[in-house]
A and B are shown apart, each in its own frame.
Chain A
Amino acid sequence: MKPRTKFIAGAILVAGTVGFLMTSGIKETGVYFLTPSELASKIETDPTFYDVGVKMGARVVTGTIERDVASQTITFEVTDGQQTYPVVYRGLAPDTFTDDVDVVVEGRLMADGTFHATSLLAKCGSRYESVPSA
């Protein structure tokens, strides 16, 4: 076999491996990213969707944040305007987590309708700019 063909075979092998790692990686670690109303409609069509790991992007409802410092549990509600879910999160919240910010919670929606979050990301829409004090 000529070195060139050997190299091409090697290259295909490398590309194949990378491709395999990527597809299997996405299959194993890919997570649905949904808004609360999308999640609600998923649940309606497919009840097995409870207790499945998803990410949900929504806005924190002002005034619903309750922190229990002793057990490090935070409860709050998120909404996209149509659908609202209560969220329970245990752990340290990021500094940017306050009323009315966009958050991304990762976790599972339980059959009782509460969302148990394992991670909580808060997004300050204009992170590098000051928030006008309105």
Chain B
Amino acid sequence: MWLALLLALWGSVVGFIAGRNQRPELVESARRATYALAGVLVVASLALIVALVKHDFNVSYVASYTSRNLPLVYTLSAFYGGQAGSMLFWAVVLATFGALAQWLTSRRYDDLLPYVAAVTSLVVLFFVATTLFAANPFVRLPFTPSDGGGLNPQLQNPGMVVHPPLLYLGYISVTIPFAFAVAALLSKRLDTGWLHAIRKWTIVSWLFLSIGITLGMWWAYVELGWGGYWAWDPVENASFLPWLTMTAFLHSVMIQEKRGMLKKWNMILIGLTFFLSIFGTFITRSGIISSVHSFAQSPIGNYFLFFLIFIVVATGVLIAKRMPMLEAESQLESMVSREATFLFNNLLLVGIAFSVLWGTMFPMISEMVRGTQVTVGPPFFNQVNIPIGLALLALTGIGPLIAWRRASPGHLKRQFAAPVTTGLIVAALLLAIGMRDFYAIMALSLAAFVVGTIMQEFIRGVGARNRLHGENYALAFARLVGRNRRRYGGYIVHLGIVMYFVAFTGQAFTTSIEASLKPGESVDLRSPWGYTYTFTHLGVSQYEELNRFTTAASVEVARDGERVGIMKSEKRQHVDSFGRASFEPSTEAGIRSDLREDIYIVYAGSVQGTEEAVYRFTLNPLVWWLWFGGAVLVAGGVVTLWPGATSGAERRRSMAGYAASITGKSSAAAAG
């Protein structure tokens, strides 16, 4: 680890010098330093993994997070389950990404790369230093306990094995585009070159963030047992914030590439995204804002605070100094243009980000200003963000329909006719079947409008190829997407986002009932779809498993009198290898999904000594669309990233992104 510290220091110092005077041997040295750094940190990580697997409880980290009877997968996931380990995880992944960026980026960007090496090394330096001085996972205990404390049962879930590393990969990979942005500023090469160099990186890190957030929702849904997937908890917000600014960045770089506008804005956005991703790590790891996720207070908070201030000052000064070189090459020509919709999209995304940040920080702000803490909860976030989110959804549909620069009225009529009709038909249908919730109707009609837009784009594109090249429809479709991956991949991603919105709408119609039932007794619950579900309590059984003692309650479920099946919900008491109880008991909800709704059963416990059980039955409409939307989103992202057959340089760039996603995945797999 000390070696890593020195290497990181060397890498950043040499990187800056090499960037400045471009001496080939220094450039090479900076490059080698990033490779060596990655190598050393990988060795350190392997050492920790070996300690975990071999149950070396003399290492305090191993003793606090694992136990002998913990399944192997979870033993490995303990690597990033604890604070010190997650710091090391950050450092090793970032070093690997940094090395990959050096290795895979085209030599055309040689004057940027030393600076990139310097910035990534500097960030790694911070994490290595924090690990060493404040949260070292290799600290040994003065004695060797015979068994460890075990991993929190709530973390013993497949979603939790992959969710934190993927979210971290998202956070971490944001550093690379940021490093390129800083490199462009330092080297004064402020054309669109750096944007091309990072295009794939930004999409990869955006995908990691999206997947990480979605898996986090999934974990909260199946494991925490409260029936929802998003509670506007500070930690959730922290993961959402960089996602928002990253999404804004993805859209606004297109304007810079096409029209040479928004250069300052893009710099600020990528700086903000990086800041927020470090801030997110800081919030999750420091417990500064009270949250159900909060971790033990620890000294790393100060390190982070210092680093965050450093980022703001350094980036701010740098952008300010280069301000004159970031003048726009062209002006906004019309309000009815693609640029304008993108600008509004950016405004709304940043607006959401600001309101979420404000709401998250509000208890602290109000304490400073007024002396008492005032908290805002989910109602605040929903009240603010539902309208903004809907406006954003509308723009998702409007954007692709409007031409660059300036759109003519005739063009607009032709473009909007079909999608708007689709939206109106859906609105009419919903009103006809008796839906009266304003936001729900808006959301679903707008969703239909966006789907209409996307379909129209695909149909027109396929039709044009069919006419011009005489290709059959299937071939035309494949070629259409193949020739313009970024555009059509983007549409597929939009489709996924629409599904998220559909799923969110379902939340407005959740119904639930709590009941205490003796065996054989039943309770009815009416679903928003008009069915009546009957839940019959069958009985409670108890049995031992590898590292836990399980109490399972079974329920027979019937829909309109027709048997659906038996569902089970569990209470688990985890035990250590001596059979003593460890941790509080945890709940395993029984979940059955279909396209319309989820049946969600929580067994809360039994009346002392009897088989009378207390349950909460919940019907969650449309939740399934969330997970499906996630899959569509990833598919769209992969289409965008898929190596194309345009030019050599283009291909190499594509490969860079693709390889990064592959190695990212396999390193996650290796770590998990």
Bind each other: yes
Contact B514 A26 (CB under 8 A): no
A27-35, A77-85, A108-116 - interface stretch: A27-35
Tell me which residues across on chain B come within 8 A of A32, comparing CB atoms. 372-375
Contact A10 B344 (CB under 8 A): yes
Contact B64 A130 (CB under 8 A): yes
Q: Kindly state whether residue B452 has any CB partner on chain A within 8 Å.
A: no
**Docked pose: A26 CA to B366 CA in angstroms:** 11
How many B residues touch A, CB cutoff 8 Å? 68
Given the known inter-chain contacts A21-B355, A26-B376, A55-B375, please indicate yes or no for A129 contacting B296, CB distance below 8 A: yes
| Cβ distance A34 to chain B, nearest Cβ, rounded Å | 7
Tell me which residues across on chain B come within 8 A of A4, comparing CB atoms. 331-332
Contact of B334 among A3, A31, A69 (CB under 8 A): A3
Contact of A10 among B296, B335, B359 (CB under 8 A): B335
Cβ < 8 Å to A, chain B residues 376-417: 376-377, 379-380, 383-384, 387-388
Given the known inter-chain contacts A14-B351, A18-B388, please indicate yes or no for A95 contacting B614, CB distance below 8 A: no
Contact B380 A128 (CB under 8 A): no
Tell me which residues across on chain B come within 8 A of A104, comparing CB atoms. 290
Contact B602 A6 (CB under 8 A): no
Tell me which residues across on chain A come within 8 A of B602, comparing CB atoms. 92
**Docked pose: A55 CA to B148 CA in angstroms:** 37
Contact A26 B380 (CB under 8 A): yes
Give the residue name and chain of the B residue nearest to A93 (CB).
Answer: B604
| Cβ distance A120 to chain B, nearest Cβ, rounded Å | 11
Tell me which residues across on chain B come within 8 A of A64, comparing CB atoms. none
Give the residue name and chain of the A residue nearest to B153 (CB).
Answer: A95
Given the known inter-chain contacts A22-B358, A125-B294, A130-B150, please indicate yes or no for A30 contacting B614, CB distance below 8 A: no
| Cβ distance A61 to chain B, nearest Cβ, rounded Å | 18
Contact A127 B607 (CB under 8 A): no
Given the known inter-chain contacts A30-B376, A31-B377, A92-B514, please indicate yes or no for A128 contacting B295, CB distance below 8 A: yes
Contact B384 A18 (CB under 8 A): yes
Give the residue name and chain of the A residue nearest to B606 (CB).
Answer: A69
Q: Kindly state whether residue B11 has any CB partner on chain A within 8 Å.
A: no
| Cβ distance A8 to chain B, nearest Cβ, rounded Å | 10
Tell me which residues across on chain A come within 8 A of B149, comparing CB atoms. 129-132
**Docked pose: A26 CA to B383 CA in angstroms:** 10
Contact of B514 among A3, A6, A91, A123 (CB under 8 A): A91
**Docked pose: A133 CA to B363 CA in angstroms:** 33
**Docked pose: A30 CA to B370 CA in angstroms:** 14
**Docked pose: A8 CA to B388 CA in angstroms:** 18
| Cβ distance A43 to chain B, nearest Cβ, rounded Å | 14
| Cβ distance A11 to chain B, nearest Cβ, rounded Å | 6
| Cβ distance B149 to chain A, nearest Cβ, rounded Å | 3
Tell me which residues across on chain B come within 8 A of A96, comparing CB atoms. 584
Q: Kindly state whether residue B293 has any CB partner on chain A within 8 Å.
A: yes
| Cβ distance A134 to chain B, nearest Cβ, rounded Å | 12
Interface residue SS majority, chain A: mixed
Cβ < 8 Å to B, chain A residues 1-50: 3-4, 6-7, 10-11, 14-15, 17-18, 21-22, 24-26, 28-34, 38
Q: Kindly state whether residue A88 has any CB partner on chain B within 8 Å.
A: no
Given the known inter-chain contacts A125-B296, A128-B81, please indicate yes or no for A133 contacting B383, CB distance below 8 A: no
Given the known inter-chain contacts A33-B374, A34-B372, please indicate yes or no for A127 contacting B332, CB distance below 8 A: no
Q: Kindly state whether residue A62 has any CB partner on chain B within 8 Å.
A: no
Contact B347 A15 (CB under 8 A): yes
| Cβ distance B514 to chain A, nearest Cβ, rounded Å | 6
Tell me which residues across on chain B come within 8 A of A34, comparing CB atoms. 372-373
Contact B387 A25 (CB under 8 A): no
Contact B351 A31 (CB under 8 A): no
Given the known inter-chain contacts A10-B335, A69-B608, please indicate yes or no for A95 contacting B225, CB distance below 8 A: yes
Q: Kindly state whether residue B539 has any CB partner on chain A within 8 Å.
A: no
Give the residue name and chain of the A residue nearest to B388 (CB).
Answer: A18
Q: Kindly state whether residue B587 has any CB partner on chain A within 8 Å.
A: yes
Q: Kindly state whether residue A75 has any CB partner on chain B within 8 Å.
A: no
| Cβ distance B45 to chain A, nearest Cβ, rounded Å | 19
Q: Kindly state whether residue B228 has any CB partner on chain A within 8 Å.
A: no
**Docked pose: A38 CA to B331 CA in angstroms:** 56
Tell me which residues across on chain A come within 8 A of B387, comparing CB atoms. 17, 21
Q: Could you pull out 14 A-B pairs where Cβ atoms are within 8 angstroms?
A: A3-B332, A7-B332, A7-B335, A25-B379, A29-B376, A29-B383, A30-B375, A31-B375, A31-B377, A32-B372, A69-B606, A127-B292, A129-B82, A131-B583
Which residues of A are interface residues toward B (Cβ below 8 A)?
Answer: 3-4, 6-7, 10-11, 14-15, 17-18, 21-22, 24-26, 28-34, 38, 55, 57, 69-70, 72, 91-92, 94-98, 104, 121, 123-133
Name the 6 nearest CB pairs between A and B, nearest first. Answer: A130-B149, A33-B373, A29-B379, A18-B351, A69-B607, A29-B380
